A and B are shown apart, each in its own frame.
Chain A
Amino acid sequence: MTTTKYDPRVLKAPHPVPGAPDNWKRFFTFNTDAKVIGIQYMGLSLFFLLVGGLLAMVMRGELITPPSDLVDPTVYNGLYTMHGTVMLFLFLFPILNGFNNLLIPTMIGAPDMAFPKVNAAAFWLVPVFAVVLLSSFFVPGGPASAGWWSYPPVSIQNPLGHFLNGEFLWILAVALSGISSIMGAINFVTTIIRMRAPGMGFFRMPVFVWTAWAAQTLQLVGLPALTGGAIMLLFDLSFGTSFFRPEGGGDPVLYQHFFWFYSHPAVYVMVLPVFGIFSELITVYSRKPLFGYKFVAIASFIITFLGLIVWVHHMFYSGTPQWMRNIFIVTTMLIAVPTGVKVFAWLGTLWGGKIRLTTPMLFVLGGVVNFILGGITGIMLGTAPVDIHVGNTYFVVAHFHYVIFNTIGFGIFAGIYHWFPKFTGRMYYEGLGKIHFVLTFIGATLNWLPMHWAGLYGMPRRVASYDPEFAIWNVIASIGAFMLGVASIPFILNIVSSWARGAKASANPWNAIGLEWLLPSPPPAENFEDDVPTVISEPYGYGLGKPLVKDEEYYIRRSMEA
């Protein structure tokens, strides 16, 4: 076990920023408190979840019948491009950064992030690139419509010839998003490495911190490839260069390598923290230590490493030679092993537990079940012969959404409900939470399960119209999508009304183990301030009767009296 050799208080920053209001208005300021920034990220990203969801519902409205009869096909292409971009860059990445801001400092006993001003600047880039991205709806020619992956030559076709066009703004927004993410990644990694509480060696860190660390390392390695590819794409689009333009001798497939080198690992950037959330919550609501804690922690970094060497499986039918297919079949298959380790560890934790089916636990169990299915179809997509048949069909849409929404989305909802009392100081309404879960689970299943069969039967993805034999699957999928829209109502009601009028939360309403639960609800500006506890045991000591920190009774009493 390693111990920290520095004083975490050295890196603290003054909070709140002098002059910042101490009420709801602070969420609209350049506040450098990580908890404020965390809530800023979460509020903004939940807003964009609604925006992206509305775009999706228009698309599912179009697809409820075979012909293209609701919107023009060009409008459809713009809608699904913006749906993908909004959901990834304005919902998923920001909300996970919200969790990172709320949880990393509190879980490791740090007063704040290592670079608070960089942290605030990274957040404020999000609304900036949101404006850049959404303003593309108003430029001549409309928003980008080449999909969120933006393959050339489609993405560098510029029918109107205007310099300021939707694709230009899309690339600019993606580049700004990349800058924001790199600023965040440097901050999170530095904070985890340098600012842990005394006694908190790496193998005393909660798994969420491990997964966030692994994910942010992935950002640092992978993002420069995407950013480089985006800059070259911008040059091809706006200045007539030929990095990817075939008529000038460029290679469009080269862009695919740049893009997928980052964008496949990006899925792990999103799913790893959710694995962390699952691990945290399963222990609390099973009242058991995390089975195989060290295996689970190390598996996060194995996923990070393997995640960087699987990207070509997105290009099995792009002219990839056989020898290269073989290599990437093997690396893609291998990634199932560390992810499987995590799933089995969760099952081992459930075994003989005292399970409580609260709303967060329901979302966790639903997310795990969905992830198992999404993982299995992921293995199928890693095998070239099957991938060649189902690639670029609705089978991939189904697989992708089983991971992105049915796993990551469920994990996010679970995390929001679980830590809601801690960071708002109020309890949520359990009944509304359960209604939200039931509607979400049914809606998500109806939405994406039938797409597997549509894809297997040959329905291409990204289409605005389709042959009538695919109609039944699409009708069911659209009903599911609309149900997901309805499911957001109890969620919004719950969050808003609970925060305004919910019962006051105690410091540790779930009787959970972790440094964040030794803080009052909500925690003060600098968490433990000058009185950082010394960690003396591994996390998840349920049933072991060992205190987590030295003088634990004192910290418990202090948190309750605050």
Chain B
Amino acid sequence: MTSTTPKGKSGWPIRLIAVILLATASDALLSYQVSQWAYGWLPVPASTAAPYVDDLFSLEVGIGAFIFFGCTGFILWSVLFNRAEKYDESDGLPIEGNNTLEVTWTVIPFIIVMILAYQAIHVSETLSALGPKVKYDVEGGLSPDTAVVTGVRADIGPIDVIARQWSWEFIYPNGVHSSELHLPLDQRANFRMSSEDVIHGFFVPAFRLKQDIVPGSVISYSITPTREGRYRLRDSQFSGAYFSQNQTDVVVESEDVFNAWLKQSAANPLVPGLSPGTALYNERLAKGNKGWATVPPAPPPMVNDPGNPDAPHDA
């Protein structure tokens, strides 16, 4: 590669070094502040997994902000101070390359991204230990009970999580069926997830947890909630016409309240559960079935607790 080094003044360019140091320090301070703000951009953390994800996100925001402000600041500076005068048709300084600089700006990003990759793998494996996930393929007709090894370290479960177009159903070991997911605080819950039709996504933003539920497979998954409250569970994988309605709540409560709910629910009769897609589909039929073709919603699950979709949620 051709290198053209402009002839400059001898000695250290003190002023330039001072400007670069000042700019770098300002960039670092601002980026650190942004990385702290980043915690506030996420929903309340409500599981043992959440702090690890939040810390990794904050680190990435900090590094990203440093690069973004550094690069855009440089562009802005160039645009302000390296503008050609009107009618100036001359060329700029013909610097074609600088091997040292090019190697440096290849090696430094390499080191940064490898540090990030190492940290991401470390956090990912920590999350796997906190909430192990195993996917089992289920042959036709084989019961998930016989195919799936559930989390032996779980305090509660396995809770069957059944996804359909477009409803959620949760079945507890004592036989309680619910449209909302109730979990006791600080206890490790094990789920046995399955889908009866298409791919659905089990997504609780407050838990920083997302898992596709693939038909033909059963997923054994564990999580430990750490904050009492009511959180949204959303279908994250596009599942058809009423996909956006396919939401319910996860209620995290103290062990006593949870046990009371479980006991009370067991005594309740089965009623049609939450299935907002069904209501919309019926409205559509009443209007003469206007719109493009759709799969009719599965019948609402029969549950002991239909839940309360209108209750305010924390996140």
Contacts and interface: CB of A to CB of B under 8 A. Distances in A.
A164 B304 CA distance: 43
B110 interface: yes
B226 to A, nearest CB: 16
A456 to B, nearest CB: 5
A337 B92 contact: no
Nearest to A76: B244
Interface in B244-274: 244-245, 247
Interface size class of A (residues with CB under 8 A): 35 or more
B41 A159 contact: no
Contacts of B43: 457-458
Interface in A237-292: 246-247, 249-253, 286-292
B71 interface: yes
B146 to A, nearest CB: 18
B246 to A, nearest CB: 9
A344 B280 contact: no
A392 B120 contact: no
A490 interface: no
Interface string B61-105: 000100110011011001100111000111111111110011001
A343 B125 contact: no
Contacts of B302: none
Contact of B216 (A68, A140, A252, A386): A252
B156 interface: no
Given A246-B216, A350-B82, A357-B83, A365 B75 contact: yes
Interface string B193-223: 0000111010101101111101111010000
A295 B199 contact: no
Q: Is the interface of B mostly helix, strand, loop or mixed?
A: mixed
A351 B234 contact: no
A456 B113 contact: no
Contact of A458 (B105, B212, B232): B232
A153 B92 contact: no
A142 B199 contact: no
Indicate the member of A165, A382, A453, A511 with the most B CB atoms within 10 Å: A382
Given A317-B201, A352-B92, A385-B124, A372 B240 contact: no
Given A287-B91, A294-B1, A154 B239 contact: yes
A546 B235 CA distance: 62
A392 B200 CA distance: 11
A384 B102 contact: no
A77 B243 CA distance: 10
A383 B208 CA distance: 14
20 contacts: A73-B280, A143-B292, A145-B241, A157-B198, A292-B98, A294-B1, A294-B97, A319-B219, A329-B120, A333-B120, A340-B106, A341-B106, A344-B105, A348-B95, A350-B82, A379-B116, A383-B56, A385-B127, A458-B43, A511-B89
Contacts of A289: 94-96
A160 B289 CA distance: 13
A250 B109 CA distance: 42
Nearest to B197: A153
Interface stretch (A13-21, A210-218, A228-236, A461-469): A461-469
A32 B77 CA distance: 46
Question: What 5 A-B pairs are tightest by C-beta distance, nearest first?
Answer: A458-B205, A142-B292, A246-B216, A543-B94, A72-B291
A467 B203 contact: no
A159 B198 CA distance: 14
Contacts of A456: 41-42
Contacts of B68: 372-373, 376
Contacts of A293: 1, 96-97
Contacts of B72: 369, 372
Given A458-B43, A542-B94, A365 B79 contact: yes
Indicate the member of A159, A319, A368, A377 with the most B CB atoms within 10 Å: A319
A441 to B, nearest CB: 13
A353 interface: yes
Contacts of A541: 94
A293 B1 CA distance: 8
Given A293-B97, A354-B88, A383-B117, A347 B109 contact: no
B252 to A, nearest CB: 16
Contact of A74 (B84, B119, B293): B293
A423 B137 CA distance: 58
A351 B119 CA distance: 34
B82 A353 contact: yes
Given A153-B199, A292-B97, A329-B117, A385 B212 contact: no
Contacts of B95: 288-289, 291, 348, 351-352
A347 B95 CA distance: 12
Interface of B: 1-2, 4, 41-43, 52-53, 56-57, 60, 64, 67-68, 71-72, 74-75, 78-79, 82-84, 88-98, 101-102, 105-106, 109-110, 113-114, 116-117, 119-121, 123-125, 127-128, 135, 140, 197-199, 201, 203, 205-206, 208-212, 214-217, 219, 232, 234-245, 247, 280, 284, 290-296, 315
Contact of A333 (B117, B211, B234, B245): B117
Given A252-B199, A295-B102, A460-B244, 14 more contacts: A73-B242, A74-B294, A77-B243, A157-B198, A247-B215, A249-B216, A287-B91, A318-B214, A319-B219, A322-B128, A369-B72, A383-B117, A386-B53, A511-B89
Given A68-B244, A464-B244, A544 B94 contact: yes
A43 to B, nearest CB: 31
A288 B291 CA distance: 57
Contacts of B52: 385
A393 interface: yes
Indicate the member of A77, A160, A334 with the most B CB atoms within 10 Å: A77
B210 A317 contact: yes
A325 B78 contact: no
A348 B92 CA distance: 12
A151 interface: yes
Contact of B244 (A253, A357, A384, A463): A463
A391 B214 contact: no
B94 A318 contact: no
Given A73-B244, A356-B84, A462 B102 contact: no
Given A153-B199, A376-B67, A543-B94, A319 B212 contact: yes
B238 to A, nearest CB: 5
A252 B214 contact: yes
Contact of B2 (A73, A341, A391, A538): A538
Contacts of A542: 91-92, 94
A181 to B, nearest CB: 25
Given A77-B241, A457-B41, A287 B97 contact: no
A159 B288 CA distance: 17
A480 B272 CA distance: 42
A350 B75 contact: yes
Nearest to A154: B198
A373 B109 CA distance: 15
Given A289-B95, A380-B57, A542-B92, A354 B84 contact: yes
Contacts of B89: 511
Given A357-B79, A380-B64, A386-B53, A343 B71 contact: yes
B215 to A, nearest CB: 4
A477 B102 CA distance: 39
Contacts of B67: 372, 376
Contacts of A383: 56, 60, 116-117, 119-120, 123-124
Contacts of A351: 74, 78, 82, 95
Contacts of A145: 241, 292
A117 B283 CA distance: 55
Contacts of B113: 333-334, 336-337, 379
Given A289-B94, A372-B71, A385-B120, A74 B199 contact: no
Interface in A119-169: 140-143, 145-147, 151, 153-154, 157, 159-160, 165-166
